[in-house]
Amino acid sequence: YVLVNFDPNIVPGWEMIKIGGSEVEIEVTDSESATGNKSLKLSQTKAWEVDPYKALEQFIQVKPNTTYEYGLKAKGDASPNGKPFFSVYGRTMTKRHHLTSSEDWVSYKFEVTTAKDQTQLDFAILNEDVTSGLYIDDVYLREKGSSINLLSNGGMEDMAASKSMVEQEMNDRGWY
């Protein structure tokens, strides 16, 4: 099953997807940051199993047959099994970029060219295995040569969502 979490302590602009009984903790913290004052922290105490996970995701409208640059910065403890990753192909196994442990911030940079009829990319950040704390910051997706980030709140700085906004959204959907 899929559960979308509207917790305002997560990251406004991103959807949190939960599959199964995932024990991944996802939070915004001010204890580490590559730039600005905040970053995303992933942690998990339970070892990998098939399917239970949480992911942060954004679906981005793109132009067909266009090259895009995407990436992020990461620091901290990543599973030796390579389970924390990000992708512009969502939560699938396609073109995952695995994050590794590091005491310093590491920049991950990639390019993708959309197909002639492609109008959407699915940017996902996901963890499936034990980590004491992996920090992620400065997440971006932009048209090659542009400085405009197409992702909402890629720096994890915008915590403008309020509990009342979340409650209203849940109420509007009949979940509250």
CA–CA gap between residue 115 and residue 131 (Å, rounded): 35
Q: What is the pLDDT of residue 37?
A: 93
What local confidence, expressed as pLDDT, does residue 124 receive?
87
Read off the tokens for 86: 């990000």
pLDDT over 80 (residue 113): yes
Distance CA 143, CA 165 (A): 31
Which residues neighbour 95 within 8 Å (Cβ) at sequence distance 6 or greater? 87, 88, 89, 112
Note the pLDDT tens digit of each residue in 118-148: 999 998 887 777 677 889 999 999 999 999 9
pLDDT digits (tens, 9 = 90+) for 42-73: 887 766 665 556 778 899 999 999 999 999 99
Structure confidence at residue 88 (pLDDT): 79
